Chain A
Amino acid sequence: MSQKKPLEGVRVLDLCVVWAGPFATMLMGDLGAEIIKIENPYVFQPMTRGAIARPPEFLLKASAAWAGGYPHNVPGDRPWNYNPTFVSLYRNKKSFTTDIRTPEGRDVLRRLVEVSDVVYENNATGTMEKLGVTYDWLKSVNPKIIFLRVPAYGSTGPYYNARALGVHLEAVMGHSLLRGYEDEDASANTAIFSGDYMAGAQGAFAVMTALWHRKRTGNGQLIEIGQAENASAMFTQAIMDYCLNRNVQGTIGNRDVHGRAPCGVYPAQSPGTAETSDDHWIAIHVENDEQWKAFREAMGSPAWAADPRFDTNAGRNEHYQEIDRGIASWSKELDDYAMMHDLQARGIAAAPVLEASRMYDDPHLRSRGFFREQRIENGETYEFAGPVWNFGGTPVTFDQGPVALGEHNEYVYREVLKVTDAEYEKYRELGWITMDYDKSVP
């Protein structure tokens, strides 16, 4: 029997920027919701389809590959369709363009809200208010609408207006001081955005919770994810330690927060150096005394490892630096994958620390069909990462590749909004029926 995907029939208006919002709508699109990105050809949201709309080549080269790695290392005719940081989140979405700063654009939005279920936004505080897109307005247009917002620190309190990416709000929630090397200061930390993962995944969950609630009660509603608050769960051990014991935790490097030793990242035989990202490392975690015995054997029972001080977890914890040096002297000459297979066969959690390109060679991910080819706007196909879950009854399909700006104008204006030919012509004259940012946008 043909089954419907869980969110089939749900229409989501996507006013999202950067990562946390687009990740949520990507997950909902994977579950079958129709995601319509509302984009403005006269306004480029920084860090949304790129740092800027038309980045010069030098900027691409100066950026990390995950941000500046455009196809063939050139910006292309429409650079906004090729930024890897963002198009990785644009599958299973539709894009249409309008200018919601104008009365006509706002009217287009109003008509769209009338026939939608969810409006999702994660802009800087004040942006939506300036546009008049408030819950009260949305509700007056469609009483059943679900409006989800993701202010960095919530919509109330002294920090309500603070600007933040994931890396900033994680700093406030403690993450920056809880990670990194034990023997370096915090400036040795790399900027990461795990808070966007948390808020994005939970945003999808929150929308579904509200949809279930609406099914039962008929009521739409406003949902607020204070993104910093939401991210705090990731640091539960540290936060609860303060709550319970007034103990302030600091970084313990790659060691186990639950104290099972040894646990770390060790050098492996490398085909090259870190300068070209060709250094290899293996993560190994020995969880108990039995595993320690097995691990010693895997290392060929070296004399140093027979030290009785290391027989107990407490001893291994106390002397972890000595043990880590010993492991490194063994691991550095060995292939990371060979170590993984050998250690796993002995029941020990070990895996290479994979540089991203190596994922494509991994036989396990290949065997599960994880990677999926998708076509981008220039007509080329590339292998993208797959969905984060495998539904047996309603498999996640990538029906739409990374969506280009304005790719679905025809569909949204004519089929969803059912505008007249005269209206369509008017919008074209206003410059809205386009797949390009206006020339005035840098």
Chain B
Amino acid sequence: MQALDDLVVLDLSQHVAAPYATKLMADYGADVIKVERPGVGDVARSFGPFLGGEPDPEKSGLFFFLNTNKRSVALDLKSPDGRAAVAALARKADAIVESFKPGTMERLGMGWDVLHLLNPHLSLISVSNFGQTGPYRDYRLTEVSLYGFAGEMYSMGLTHREPTKMAGTAALFESGAAIAPALLGSILGNALNGEGQHVDISLAETHAGGVDRRHATAIGYQFSGRKTLRVAGGASGMPQGIYPCADGYVDFTNAALRPDRIADMLGHADWLNDPIYQDPQARFNAEVLEAWNANFFVWCLERTKREIWAEARRAKVMCGPMFTTQDLYEDDHFRGRGFWHTADHPAMGAVEFPGRPFIMQEGGWQLRRPAPTLGQHTAEVLAETSLPATLVARLVAAAGGAK
């Protein structure tokens, strides 16, 4: 058994954030029924990377990763038939997740009040850019504007240049990770109270209240009146920040908290014995720092990132070698731990991908099925409802596949 295999989630969401949350539910056992628009499907199907590089809605690596273990039902929510099917599915679901523009569910006749009457045990998780209320509720956001507005992007980069974002759609994935406990939490609450509830999640607020520096910069300002400057992380301590090495870069952020371990990492470095380095304020003295750097840069440049990391690990020094995705893929540690998993996908064949997000002793992660093709489970899922056979037949005929 899997921990969540008695739960049913009706997933009307698309793109990255909300589907990542429902993926987590599905990966740990929930029956996640993904409703997609006939012929088009989740917008993530139109985003790469694609197997072979050519756009194909059944060959998106992004969609593949985000939708493991889900079943896909192609339904047109604008048609009465489609809405009847959603209502039938909602009757047996524990939660619905949607990421439409605010107001859409109401327009489709599936607002919270209607759903709550239909199935009092159902929770509705509404995910939108700025939330269901407020002056910006209809505003658009994509990765860069989301992270720029609400995350701590302002202070990332060089002082005299533009702020820089995180890679890819990292901010949207963070939001997705934050949606997951709200989704499962609403179901736990239902078990306690006997009724579901509507949860309004603003992607902006998942970042404005999030842990990665934004909340701290806001509180730091409230406390002190100081603003956080945009400062790059290059070498600035003993050691502190990013250093070039023989084959790339290593990051020693906050490593200097333990000078004894730095000394151990460096081995018998005579220059370390100079008493000028013992003063806790030494790193604020430009001349002292320059002399330290002259030695430390050489130590780094004479070694590869893996050699440096091995010395750092031995001495328990915090250090991060900057890996490429190839370094990561070829690394024995992650492979040996079972980080990579292979799925057999109907359109893509055998695909390797990062498997379990965390390891449970019991009831944990399993790959029951790869990401679905568009509408792959329409007939199967609708047959499990109480809908009349003629209606099911019409819906299946209307579903079609990806165009």
Contacts and interface: CB of A to CB of B under 8 A. Distances in A.
B180 A70 contact: no
Bin chain A's interface residue count. Answer: 35 or more
12 contacts: A3-B197, A47-B257, A175-B170, A190-B230, A193-B213, A201-B180, A209-B184, A213-B362, A234-B167, A344-B139, A356-B154, A365-B208
B324 interface: yes
B146 to A, nearest CB: 8
Nearest to B169: A257
B354 interface: yes
Given A62-B284, A257-B167, A234 B174 contact: yes
B6 interface: yes
Interface stretch (A106-114, A163-171, A417-425, A426-434): A163-171
A102 interface: no
A390 B134 contact: no
Contacts of B138: 344
B231 interface: yes
Contacts of A206: 358, 360
A263 B144 CA distance: 8
Contacts of A216: 1, 3, 6
Interface stretch (A81-89, A303-311, A407-415): A81-89
B224 A71 contact: yes
Contact of A73 (B141, B178, B186, B224): B224
Contacts of A69: 219-221, 223-224, 226
A141 interface: no
Contacts of B1: 216-217
B325 A174 contact: yes
Given A224-B359, A234-B174, A6 B192 contact: yes
Interface stretch (A35-43, A92-100, A274-282, A315-323): A274-282
Given A168-B251, A219-B362, A235-B168, A193 B211 contact: yes
Contacts of A257: 143, 167-169
Interface in A380-409: 382-394
Nearest to A177: B322
Interface in B126-150: 130-131, 133-136, 138-150
Contacts of B147: 283
Contacts of A384: 215, 218-219, 222
B357 A233 contact: yes
B232 A5 contact: no
Nearest to B211: A23
A46 to B, nearest CB: 5
Contacts of B178: 27, 197, 201, 388-389
Contact of A237 (B61, B188, B232): B61
Contact of B228 (A222, A254, A277): A277
Given A202-B180, A351-B141, A188 B3 contact: no
A340 B354 CA distance: 37
Given A64-B228, A201-B174, A241-B49, A388 B206 contact: yes
Contact of A213 (B3, B155, B162, B250): B3
A413 to B, nearest CB: 29
Nearest to A371: B218
Contacts of A22: 211
Interface string B314-358: 001111111111111100111011010000000010011110111
B399 to A, nearest CB: 26
Contacts of A244: 49-52, 61, 348, 351
Interface residues of B, number: 165
B167 A367 contact: no
A146 to B, nearest CB: 10
A389 B234 contact: no
A198 interface: yes
B199 interface: yes
Interface in A126-178: 153-154, 156-159, 161-178
B281 interface: yes
A227 B154 CA distance: 26
A204 B21 CA distance: 12
A254 B144 contact: yes
B325 A179 contact: no
Given A159-B333, A236-B62, 9 more contacts: A46-B257, A66-B213, A164-B318, A181-B157, A187-B244, A191-B233, A258-B47, A340-B139, A356-B220
B309 interface: yes
B332 A158 contact: yes
Contacts of A23: 211
A271 interface: no
A201 B177 CA distance: 5
B24 A235 contact: no
Nearest to A278: B227
Given A243-B351, A349-B145, A354-B149, A186 B322 contact: yes
A193 B212 contact: yes
Nearest to B281: A58
Contacts of A164: 318-320
A236 B318 contact: no
Contacts of A283: 144-145, 147-149, 153
Contacts of B254: 47, 165
A240 interface: yes
Given A47-B257, A198-B174, A209-B360, A84 B168 contact: no
A347 interface: yes
Nearest to A188: B232
Contact of B353 (A186, A212, A240): A240
Interface in A194-218: 194, 196-198, 200-206, 208-213, 215-217
A4 B216 CA distance: 30
B222 A382 contact: yes
A389 B128 CA distance: 11
A232 B244 CA distance: 23
Interface string A336-373: 00001000100111111111110110011101101000
Contact of B219 (A47, A87, A221, A347): A87
B154 A245 contact: no
B42 interface: no
B166 interface: yes
A257 to B, nearest CB: 4
A217 B222 contact: no
B3 to A, nearest CB: 4
Contact of B215 (A88, A203, A348): A88
A248 interface: yes
A28 B181 CA distance: 9
Given A390-B201, A391-B199, A209 B212 contact: no
**Shortest beta-carbon contacts, A-B, top 10:** A168-B320, A393-B197, A240-B61, A69-B220, A171-B320, A178-B167, A69-B224, A283-B148, A6-B189, A213-B3
A258 B184 CA distance: 30
Given A168-B253, A229-B334, A244-B50, A176 B320 contact: yes
A196 B181 CA distance: 15
Contacts of A8: 192
A361 B284 CA distance: 35
Contacts of A377: none
A51 interface: yes
Contacts of B309: 162
Contacts of A192: 152, 156, 166, 212-213
Contacts of A87: 219
B162 A382 contact: no
A333 to B, nearest CB: 16
Interface string B46-82: 0111111100000001101110000000000000000
Contacts of A221: 360-363
